[in-house]
Amino acid sequence: MTRHVYARFWREGLVWRVAFSDMTGEHRMRDLTFASPEKIEALAQRGGAMKDLAAKQGIAVGIRNGAGGFTMILDNNQFAKVSLGAKW
């Protein structure tokens, strides 16, 4: 079974923040902090978000502009890691 999760990212000073939520945006799951935008690209790649050129370009534009988002398609194991500590 796969689950769709939305990841929103933004630059905050010298770090990058990522917030995960369900597709409705009502349930926020987890926040992460990264030192570089390359980690966001790697996260998107592992989550199946960079499936075509348009998706890759969308993430690149978001990084260049300092904020963006993408939809990840996660298996149950990946979803469990992202939703760790989520309050439903």
pLDDT, tens digit (0-9, with 9 covering 90-100), for 57-88: 999 999 999 999 999 999 988 888 888 755 44
What's the whole-model pTM score? 0.88
Q: What is the pLDDT of residues 25-40, one digit of tens each?
A: 778 888 999 999 999 9
What pLDDT is attached to residue 83?
Answer: 83
In Å, what is the CA distance from 59 to each residue of 18, 37, 64, 86, 88? 13, 10, 9, 25, 28
Domain boundaries, the chain: 2-82
- The residue that leads in pLDDT, 27 or 54, is 54
Q: Locate 48 and state its tokens.
A: 């199946």
**Contact status, residue 83 vs residue 30, Cβ threshold 8 Å:** yes
**Contact status, residue 49 vs residue 2, Cβ threshold 8 Å:** no
